[in-house]
Structure 1
């Protein structure tokens, strides 16, 4: 028998638990994303179909992508693409393409195969960035490559979600449907660019005139939710719309004003997304597709290491540094959760198990990357400086 708490009580208790789990994650040095998903799995019977939790999770993920879009104006996107695209395309082919082929070989239908391929594709930006900072590796030579690859994945992942949303709307997706879907994505993107260059051109001046912070919050979150909602209305993903909404405002001079206003609301709401995702995973029928799970765990880790080894070389890194970079990009997290949220039934359960396992293993590989690299290539030798003695 399922026990359901009142909606308001359930939401309040979840926020308190999120607070305690946040403190716990700092003490045990484990990304809070994993703890939030596990919390959702544990309290599924209490909060299944909680309306406030669901709405809060939608707002949280929309604001995450909105803030992400603020970092990417058109010029920056072009600069990143010129340097990282060979490694980025290699990543798409190995992490998404091969995983998709493996799923098809195991007898899954095209939609489920593409969805699982998307889940195995994107490295967790939040986990990787946190580990880079915690281990004092931000200044390492591979860090620029890792961050550029994460940005590339951040651009591809919303498109993957949008395609999955289109595919999930009907049983049979014809060629014209795919063309129409791509057309909608292009139209939404072009619309964001035009609005950014016209309507929002003097947006900074408007923000300076608004002294009340509450009004700013209403305006900025309203823009993010509206463009995300427009994407949903067109049969696309709200995360793509939110990302493009951020791009619309990325040209303004003092972006930190927008970020400072929206960030507290995002930080409050985003954990709800991971908790809610956990409540949608049910393990009543055990671990589905266990054989496929083992194969994909092995391959997806190997694929990221290969992307680091070969993609890093394309980027201009040494063999040693490229290998260390590959070991550092194996964690899966928020983007995989976003993509898995489109799934239903056993595929969602499978995806949830994969994400938790891949996140844990990826974090271990990140922590051990320097040691493993030294075992394979030997310890780096410090260059000795010759001192000139006066009179020599």
Structure 2
């Protein structure tokens, strides 16, 4: 019956629902992102094929990471990369490797266990970045570490997806395929740097000359979406492409001009991503391997907290800030959904249930992270870094 439901009516009702849930979240002091995801789950049968919702969600997530990319020029990103690689590898070992071992011990074959490890690996970049913005924590001492770790995961997660798809479709995956994938990532990054240093070197002058705000919106969104689409064409994540597009324009003198133009569109589109994300979670019938789900939930939260505590210290953060970082990176999201969609049967249902619970618990831990850190280490002087909220 839902096939006869007008797509435009569905999109309009989604926007009205987002408005109501946004007001509700403010009244009850509850994360709006969770409400949006639950909204999508409830309306999954009606909205699963809604093309407008899907399109809007893609634009929203692309613009979020485009604006984040603006804060990281090549020099700054290079400095971060030198500091984050050890924490990133620790994350792979704890969040993917150990979870994979648990799945194998519960009777899964190695390929299914690898899919489960992939599902539990990556922190939700979109949820975490949105909460950093919502909670006014973009300027906190731990935020650079968190964003650096998310970027590292956004580089590793496409490789995991490619390996799983390669084995799933052909039964095997060659070393040359991984080399090719790394080549695509490096090539896309070099293209962004080259364009930023040449074609877009005087981009700010062009923006000043354009008086019509609508034309600016078309230009900037066109650039971010095109680079995200190029990444997808290469078999990479649109999130990575959008971030690189932002980095491409980060060399201009005043990025506030770009932020001021793009932020309103991002704020309109981004909530639709979380609604659409909710529609993709297939809970199925029954609860497969309930004890494995419990173990995975508990361990995946512990793993991320350990990555924050240990990796944060390696990155140069204090014990208190490292703990706050670890508590802030527990939510799973978009890459977990992509990986779970490759699975079948029990693993697919397990993945859907895991993602929903992990997203919920992760957002609660994010919300409570400052309080927990203060309770353990006491309140100290607020430290901040020169990282502005995109669109502020």
* TM-score, with length taken from structure 2: 0.83
Alignment pair present for 1:228 and 2:219: no
Provide closer, same or farther for how the CA distance between residues 130 and 27 of structure 1 changes in structure 2, counting only shifts above 3 A. Answer: farther
Q: How does 1:111-260 map to 2 (within 5 A)?
A: 112-119=115-122, 124-126=127-129, 129=132, 133=136, 143-144=140-141, 146-167=142-163, 168=165, 170-171=169-170, 172-260=172-260
Q: Contact between 2:37 and 2:274, CA under 8 Å: does it hold in 1?
A: yes
Q: Which moved more, 1:293-302 or 1:345-354?
A: 345-354
Name the SS of the counterpart of 1:354 in structure 2: helix
Structure-2 change in CA distance of 1:280 and 1:47 (3 Å)? same
Deviation at 1:96, TM superposition (A): 3.2
2:100, 2:117 within 8 Å by CA — same for their partners in 1? yes
Give the Å deviation of 1:380. 7.8
Rg larger for: 1
Q: 1:19 to 1:381 in 2, by over 3 A?
A: closer
User: Which residue of 2 is the match for residue 20 of structure 1?
Assistant: 20
Alignment of 1:217-366 (within 5 A): 217-316=217-316, 319=319, 321=320, 324-325=323-324, 328-333=327-332, 336-344=333-341, 347=347, 349-365=349-365
**Distance in structure 2 (CA, Å) of the matches to 1:105 and 1:160:** 25
- Rate the CA distance shift 1:381–1:203 in 2: closer, same or farther, 3 A: closer
Q: What residue in structure 2 maps to residue 57 of structure 1?
A: 57
Greater mean deviation of Cα atoms: 59-68 or 81-90? 81-90
Q: Which runs of 5+ in 1 are unaligned?
A: 383-392
Structure 1 residues 41 and 220 mapped into 2: Cα distance closer, same or farther (>3 Å)? same
| Shift of residue 127, structure 1, vs aligned partner | 6.1
Equivalent position SS for 2:119: helix
Please, which runs of 5 or more residues in structure 2 have no aligned partner? 382-392
Aligned equivalents of 1:381, 1:248: Cα separation in 2? 37
Could you say if the C-alpha distance between residues 119 and 350 of structure 1 is closer, same or farther in structure 2, counting changes exceeding 3 Å?
A: farther
Q: CA deviation at 1:368?
A: 5.6
Could you tell me how far 1:353 is from its partner in structure 2?
2.9
- Residues 289, 4 of structure 1: CA spacing in aligned structure 2 closer, same or farther, 3 A cutoff? farther
Cα deviation, residue 311, structure 1: 3.0
Shift of 1:330: 4.9
Measured in 1, the distance between the counterparts of 2:220 and 2:375 equals 50
User: C-alpha separation between the residues in 2 aligned to 1:121 and 1:270?
Assistant: 14
RMSD in angstroms over aligned alpha carbons?
Answer: 3.1
Question: 1:292: Cα distance to partner?
Answer: 2.2
Q: Is the 8 A contact 2:227 2:242 kept in 1?
A: yes
Contact 1:25 1:32 in 2 (8 A): yes
TM-score computed with the length of structure 1 as normaliser: 0.83
The count of residues paired between Structure 1 and Structure 2 equals 371
